[in-house]
Structure 1
């Protein structure tokens, strides 16, 4: 039978050296009260310490919250994460990783969720083709993020003449989850939450081998007062419940249209400014076809729905985010990972199954670094650890992959005058280089799968050719030699039919896109 206890009492259930798995995404389902009390306990008494902290998605919407609550030497021995603090490179936990003060692994997000599901179901682990010949592969880096991280947590196995990555089942001593309510039977429901983030699989993974589940909720309710489809974790899996004791204003609230309770009119109050980002978004939009199921990645591609609304093509497309929503308008409420007016909201496990089965028509993702062969590094470069997130699963079987980003980063300034792009100042960091720090997307593997890869920047469009990058388009006003070729530290093939990008992209009025 579950017990309702305080946050301080909950922390006493966690022991030195425990393996703790936390579910959430930024501030979505973030069990903030429990994490706060964990940090306070460590700072005041030095314990619990030497924890292994696991999280499929990075937690924390503000500096000092989420995973950063653990950013103290000795608090954590090992991190295993699907994604990390890409938005703020100075996040404290990332600093500990770079300084070799904590072991750190990066697993593909979908593989992480599947491994939790298999662990809970009593399976021996996970066999997957996702991540082969990328940083997840032990022959490359095996997900290790720094020099102090030595142990291999993934192996290459051969079954039926085919290679697979094999992850052993996880050890989960403590699962920390969050919901909206707990009823009198201990059932956890999500009536005020827009996604479920694999909380059932995580709770089951803990209970399968004698671990405990601590759930943070907002309220206690009478059994049966919430629709049974919104009850996600049965009470028999829940040991302790913490009612949120902190200021309710700190808890994210979502519009009813995000929760699926109402359908809200989508009104574009202000058009997206015509700048380098919009140029990229408009060029992406020209690759879409009527009826496409489109995945959107974090960064520039996340704003594609705004262009779709502006061009009145929203109803011709179905957008999808790996955190759950299919249909509707992702990011319209200002939160990545949720959508207004979704057609459905699946658990992340189901979304990744949909992706790896090849049901996406196209994905639009950001690009951190790209080399001359078309390989992409999105997980770790310079002073940023972003992690792979759902990238590996998203590109696994998708026939068309669009990588989007500016040509240079760190201070790039451009302007658009009379339909021409002007480079006023180059960024400090080149994103296209002869070598890159790691491989998140292996171009050779994509070529073998006959996947179509495009690399779209504000000034140039490349495709993946037989040997590497091929320049296919350039922006009006751009000198190919001066602004593209001379800015690269490698030779790139220029297509015989290279042409200017569509002039409509660089005009302030609507493009008038008609999807077919």
Structure 2
């Protein structure tokens, strides 16, 4: 998993965010997004109790008492707020998060997410994923196209435990952008030079596309 690919995904997700959005950032690739927002004015929320996260601090200004839910050091924008994690989940469960950006272990062809447990592996618990998929108005998944073992993240049917009663609107990988509808996954943008046949080979679910997406 190269840093270059992770940054590529983070930059593409940033394009989907709009001024005024309240955005929750999950673990992994989503933590890179604050550094690629440019002039966009979004409110970045962390489930451990921060609203108004800024870019990643340089080494001289790291304060490990100020961290995100991913335990990464963060900065605060002017006007930022710090509060109890219970208040943070009131925001999430109350439907006040415009966009949640999450990583996944798997996502099915209709956008159902599995991102908290691998069967047979010890786990600590579901975390905030279940609340976010149910409470956020829009869900964007930011993920490498394949897992470390080479298996596709986008699959026909989940084999890992679901993260809850909510579905993603969009999946962004280093190779492609997919949106999800009741009819399944649709390829809406290619982000690498893979041929369509090569993309299909490394994707574990069928997807539709418009000719304009693959031809021009």
Residue matched to 2:156: 434
SS in 1 for 2:213: strand
1:493 and 2:208 matched: yes
Alpha-carbon contact 1:302-1:330 (below 8 Å) kept: no
1:475 maps to which of 175, 191, 201 = 191
1:293 equivalenced with 2:31 (yes/no): no
Pairs within 5 Å for 1:165-314: 275-308=4-37, 311-313=38-40
Alpha-carbon distance change, 499 to 279 in structure 1, aligned in 2, over 3 angstroms: farther
Rate the CA distance shift 1:350–1:328 in 2: closer, same or farther, 3 A. Answer: same
Partners of 2:126 and 2:28 in 1: CA distance: 14
**Map of 2:94 onto structure 1:** 357
- Go from structure 1 to structure 2 and tell me whether the alpha carbon gap of 1:317 and 1:499 turns closer, same or farther (over 3 Å shift): farther
**Structure 2 residues without counterparts, runs of 5 or longer:** none
- Greater relative contact order structure (CA < 8 Å, 6+ sep): 2
Do 2:22 and 2:42's aligned partners in 1 also have CA atoms closer than 8 Å? yes
- Aligned pair count reads 201
1:156-212 CA-partner distances (Å, limit 9, x unpaired): xxxxxxxxxxxxxxxxxxxxxxxxxxxxxxxxxxxxxxxxxxxxxxxxxxxxxxxxx
Partners in 2 of 1:476 and 1:488 — Cα distance? 14
C-alpha separation between the residues in 1 aligned to 2:47 and 2:143?
Answer: 20
- The answer for the alignment partner of 1:336 in structure 2 is 68
Structure 1 residues 339 and 489, CA gap change in structure 2 (3 angstroms): closer
Contact 2:6/2:29, CA 8 A, preserved across alignment: yes
Q: In the aligned structure 2, how far is the partner of 1:296 from the partner of 1:405?
A: 13
Partner residue, 2:45:
320
Paired position in structure 2 for 1:390: 128
- Tell me how large the CA RMSD over aligned residues is: 2.6
Structure 1 residues 500 and 330, CA gap change in structure 2 (3 angstroms): farther
Could you list the per-position Cα deviations for residues 343-393 of structure 1 after superposition, in whole angstroms to 9, with x for gaps in the alignment?
A: 111111111111111111211111111122321111212565363211122
Q: Do the aligned partners of residues 305 and 377 (structure 1) sit closer, same or farther apart at CA in structure 2, a change above 3 Å counting?
A: same
Structure with greater Cα Rg:
1
- The 5-angstrom pairing of residues 445-456 of structure 1 reads 445-446=166-167, 453-456=169-172
SS for the counterpart of 2:27 is coil
Q: Which residue of 2 aligns with 1:401?
A: 139
Structure-2 change in CA distance of 1:326 and 1:455 (3 Å): same
CA contact (8 A) 1:473 1:500 kept: no
Using the TM superposition, give the Cα deviation of residue 500 of structure 1 relative to its aligned residue in structure 2, in angstroms.
Answer: 8.5
